[in-house]
Amino acid sequence: MLEQLGINAKKAASSLASATTEEKNNALVKISKALVDNAEKIIDANKIDLENGRNAGLNQGLLDRLMLDEKRISDMADGCIQVSKLDDPCGKILETVTRPNGLVIKKVSCPIGVIGIIYEARPNVTADAAVLCLKSGNAVILRGGKEAINSNIAISEIMRDAIKDAGFDENCVQLVHDTSRDSSTELMQMKDYLDCLIPRGSKRLIKAVVEKSTVPVIETGSGNCHIYVDETADIDMAANIIFNAKTQRIGVCNACESLVIHSGIIDKALPVIKAKLDEKNVEIRGDKRAKAVCPDIKDATEEDFGTEYLDYIISVKTVDSLDEAIEHINKYSTGHSESIITEDKDNARKFMQLIDSSSVYHNASTRFTDGGEFGLGAEIGISTQKLHARGPMGLRELTTTKYLIFGDGQIR
């Protein structure tokens, strides 16, 4: 039943492909204004979602993610303005080659076309994702969770009116109103209309999309992030970084979930790290050698090393060498972010070369893996796969390239 949305999106994408930067920015400014002007309408719709959520027994965390107030709507509106100020990622000439036969081949950046976004209960994604797609010249089909459907309809209708008002086809942004599982599955199979599908949300959602989709997927993912304390680490620096990476915000994908510590430094390092983590009552689960150093920590099981806690819990693995650390991390990590704390530059270099993750740090917190912190200006997600985009994805990652070849009659 979503086919008509696909047809509409393809048509809208075609008109967006020739839009100027000014035209696109103008639409973003209009969307921003419309969101603020219609805040009450959005809040009214959101109240219905909150009421339904309470009746359905959603927990406090989910209700909080679902909730929109003037501040959050104003943040969405500010986001539009920020994105309008970013560099247009389309139309960049990335390479020019002149071949011996006289053909001039230019590789240029251009919109991907039609992007599908499947997400869960956060209605702000509706505006954030639409705005990033619009700026990068892509039509978008949004499929949010049923918990936020009233809010999403309100936000998307306001955006569509603003887009139309800016002279664009309002189908640049479309929301799937049917929130049954069938609509989600259908979207994943719309290969004729969608060029790319980006799931945003829980591990379960992402897994389902990867397994069922025939549309190319950019997997944004979970982070079982490690910090390795090397034999020559500055212990105070290590403790500070670990404390930050574990506790500054526990529910995020770039939080540290597991420590790996060299046996040559664990006697000195672990008590200092533990003292710091105790400040926020972080539960430490260690292997035998870690327990020998700090007997009051809990036992780590094999399962712990593979767990993204998203909680005040951290695991500790003891190793005898850098190689063992690298092997352990590459086995258990989700390829998101890992850090080495060391004063040995050769070890840092080896770690950074061999760790198979999107972002590998030397002497810094894993919490920096973020579009804003990397200077991308905005972020549609963090890719933990290796094709197309890896790590924080900004506007540029929402473009593809094409070859333009200029001839004067060349034949082969």
CA distances from 235 to 229, 297, 329, 350 (A): 8, 19, 20, 20
Which C-beta is closer to its own copies: that of 36 or that of 352?
Answer: 352
β-bridge pairing 139-143 and 114-119: parallel
Query: Exactly one of 89, 361, 371, 395 binds its own copies (CB under 8 A); which one?
Result: 361
Interaction residues for its own copies, span 227-256 (CB under 8 A): 234, 237, 240-241, 243-245, 248
How many residues at the interface with its own copies, by CB under 8 A? 68
Written as six digits, the tokens of 282 are: 């972080």
Report the site for its own copies in 170-209 (rule: CB under 8 A).
191, 195-196
Tokens of 253: 């994908």
CB of 70 to its own copies, least distance (A): 27
- DSSP state for residue 398 in the 8-state scheme: G
Q: Which of 80/218 has CB closer to its own copies?
A: 218
Rounded Cα gap, residues 89 and 111, in angstroms: 8
From candidates 29, 63, 67, 210, binder to its own copies by CB under 8 A: 210
Minimum distance from residue 99 beta carbon to its own copies (Å): 6
Residues 364, 298, 320, 307: is their CA dihedral positive or negative?
negative
82 phi-psi bin (left φ>0, alpha ψ -120 to 50, beta other): alpha
Q: Which residues, numbered 84-113, are part of the site for its own copies (CB under 8 A)?
A: 97, 99, 103, 105, 110, 112-113
Distance of CA 265 to CAs 20, 56, 285, 327, 329, Å? Answer: 58, 51, 18, 19, 18
Residue 280 CB-half CA count within 13 A: 18
CB of 243 to its own copies, least distance (A): 8
Is 3 one of the binding residues for its own copies (CB under 8 A)? no
Single out the residue of 63, 200, 89 nearest to residue 142, CA to CA. 200
Pairing mode, strands 93-98 and 283-286: unpaired
Site residues (CB under 8 A) for its own copies, limited to 280-339: 330
**Is 411 among the residues that bind its own copies (CB under 8 A)?**
yes
Under the binding rule (CB under 8 A), the answer on residue 21 touching its own copies is no
Please tell me the total number of residues recorded for the chain in this structure.
412
How many whole angstroms separate alpha carbon 159 and alpha carbon 162? 5
Judged by CB under 8 A, which of 54, 177, 203, 386 binds its own copies? 386
Q: Does 71 bind its own copies (CB under 8 A)?
A: no
Residues within the interface to its own copies (CB under 8 A): 14, 17-18, 97, 99, 103, 105, 110, 112-113, 191, 195-196, 210-211, 214, 216-219, 234, 237, 240-241, 243-245, 248, 330, 350, 352-354, 356-365, 367-369, 373-375, 385-388, 390-391, 400-412
